[in-house]
Amino acid sequence: MFNQHPSSSALHEYIQYLPEVKKYLAELQHQDLWWTTVAMVGKINNENMDSQLLDSIVDTQKEFQSLRDRMIEELVGRYLNQASSEVILKAQAVIDILIRNLFERTADVGFLATDDDLVEFMAKSQVSDAEREFIYRRIVEYVAKYSVYDDVLLVAPDGEVKAKLDLNNPVTHSHDPLIREALATEEDYLEVYRHSDLFPNKPTSLIYAKKIQAQLHGQLRTVGVLCLSFNFEDELQRLFRTLNADNDGYAIMLLDDHGRTLASNDLQHHAIGKQQVKPQGFKRPERQGANMHFATKTNGYQGFYGLPWFGYVTVPNQIAFSDKSSLKEMHVTIPKDSPLYLGALEEMNLKVSTLLLIVILNGKIISLKRDVKAFLPVLDNFQTISIDIQAIFARFIHHIHNVLVKTIQGKVAFSATLAVEVMDRNLYERANDCRWWALNSTFRQLLSQHHQGRELSAAQTQKLCDILSYINKLYTVYTNILLYDSRGKILAVSSPAQSELIGTVIPSPKDASRCLGITDTQKYAVSEFDKTELYDGDYTYVYHAAVKDWENEQRNVGGIALVFDSAPEFDAMLRDTQPKYINAALNEATFSAFVDRNGKVIASTSPHFAKGALLNLPAEVLQAANGKNDTVYWEDNGQPYLVGYKVSEGYREYKNGDGYSNDVIALVFTGI
């Protein structure tokens, strides 16, 4: 949040959208006019009055006018900050959340291009119908888990399409230069967004491509290209609904580097391809006629910035400055020692009142000394003006405080929404990973042999560890990935530093047992958020999926366990979505947390709220419905906080009918 002091022209521009400000301004202008009138009457009818007293009346009026102008500017500035803050948050969120999602895709394409079954299929010069059917079912299984894709293609070096997910996609051969570029590049992947003959039914496609290489006759040869088509339109509409759940009228868009619309939540007014702005150079929201608008680049995620896109929001001033009725009235009194308290304005109000009181007292003394009793009614009128002005300014300052509270409410509530959205999206990927990797053919074959009583050789164990290690290097959110057999004995690990675990029993028999009872390749099991030896005795989630018998998918021969690196990952989610204020003291008094339904801390950016601790939160927070987003007033050790909260509601099928129930509440605290 940045401080904005509108120019005089902008001041009048914005006041028209602020009925409360217009009301205060009218009241103060009336008092100013009455002041001038009374002063004129006093001057005309009291020639014997001390001129210094009349000068004091004029000087005090100037102080009043200065305070009036300062308060109007302050209030409009606060409303402007509130409106600007919302525009900035939405624009930044749309690009940053998308980039986080697309970062996962870069790992997906790298891993899937090395999948043994796909590599073997592409390496063959001739394939049977049965082999084609096997690869088709393999791709179907993949997208059933990673549902962000709408198509997957396997393309030979000459452009022939050898396999695809979408049978309605008419492509059989491609001339897209992307294929040639993917075959030639040394980059880990290619990312393009445009029309492609690979997906001719779509006007544009977001494609992740990587060459597929195989060992042929002792040499590594390129045998094709994997192309993943991200379901771009569906993903952006989901994101728009999240970011604009309660605020109709905000047009949210994704723009390309020329400022043209790639996706929009308001296609009627902001069509795809329409030039919106030249997005470079936005430092803060700007006026655009009767609208406010803002464009921003991504902050990136783990060094990934994706394509040169922008998040963009435009909103009519009437809506930007309207009262946010979705935020409940808090009836919060800001303490006098709070960094929010407008002590300087209160002092100015006191100064004007004191000056006027001095004028009145001096006037009465002089009137009595000089026997100018006709001036006493004038002074009585000034006393009435003084009382009225003081009351107006007191209400004025209280109103500015309320606007500050509303602004903080809006920021903590929206930040909580972003935090839980990022968390659900991230953990959705973890559920996908465990289910997909469990289907690895090498895992299934070797664990099936082991299940039949054959001990794994040292070479076979090393092969399993090597595959797990390769996966872990691509998917760095795990500290370890383990394979275990049907008795829970660990057979292989991804982390060489934890190789001593091989041959031991997995330390969560209840979770392993649940996993080994899974009958469906779409199902998975997750541990409670608890301490585990697999994470150095710290709290985390461990994701499990069953490894199926190579000959009989109805039989489980083991499981895979993914140890989520919860400490840095949750910390990054919370810090990346935490609100920013211009007031350093407010930033220092702001922190975020994830808790469960009991108030048990899953993660926190405050050293005072450790993992596993129980927070004494209001029932309305802990018992709130899934998807509920609101704010509450909360005190901890005498420190008052405004707290934004959002209860998780899942992402896509994750936690939505997939059999997994684990409500998490995101909390954002700002001390006042």
- Give the residue from 149, 204, 214, 159 showing the smallest Cα distance to 181: 159
Q: What is the pLDDT of residues 462-485, one digit of tens each?
A: 999 999 999 999 899 999 999 999
Q: pLDDT at position 568, please?
A: 96
Tokens of 362: 């001096």
What φ, ψ does residue 191 adopt, rounded to 5°?
-130, 120
- Tokens at residue 483, please? 């394979």
**β-bridge partners, 160:** 173
Residues contacting 359, CB < 8 A, separation 6+: 53, 56, 57, 60, 382
Beta carbons within 10 angstroms of residue 591's beta carbon:
21
In angstroms, the CA 667 to CA 631 distance is 9
Tokens of residue 39, six digits:
């002063």
**Residue ranges for the chain with pLDDT beneath 50:** 1-3
- Do the beta carbons of residue 356 and residue 34 sit within 8 Å? no
Q: Are 284 and 84 in contact (CB under 8 A)?
A: yes
Class of domain 115-233: alpha beta
Looking at residue 374, its pLDDT comes to: 64
Contacts of 484 (CB under 8 A, 6+ apart): 490, 491, 506, 512, 558, 559, 560, 561
pLDDT score recorded for residue 34: 81
Whether 569-671 and 115-233 are alike in CATH topology: the answer is: yes
For residue 473, count other CB atoms closer than 10 A to its CB. 12
Half-sphere exposure of 379 (CA within 13 A, CB side): 22
CATH of domain 569-671: 3.30.450.20
Say if residues 195 and 75 touch (Cβ distance below 8 Å): no
Q: Are the C-beta atoms of 150 and 231 separated by less than 8 Å?
A: yes
CA gap 62, 351 in Å, rounded: 12
Class assignment of domain 430-568?
alpha beta
Starting from the edge strand earliest in sequence, which strands make up the sheet with 601-604, in order? 601-604, 590-595, 665-671, 639-647, 629-636
Find out whether 346 and 131 touch, Cβ atoms under 8 Å.
no
Tokens coding 652: 């896509």
Phi, psi of 326 (to 5 degrees): -70, -20
**CA 265 from centroid of its chain's CA atoms:** 17
Distance, CA of 270 to CA of 264 (rounded, Å) = 7
Q: Tell me the H-state helices in 297-369.
A: 317-320, 343-369
Q: What number of CA atoms fall less than 13 Å from residue 348's CA on the CB side?
A: 18
State residue 380's pLDDT score.
80
Q: Encoding tokens for residue 475?
A: 């998917």
- Partnered with residue 604 across adjacent β-strands are 593
Three-state DSSP class for residue 627: coil
Domain boundaries, the chain: 115-233, 430-568, 569-671
Predicted confidence at residue 93, as pLDDT, reads: 94
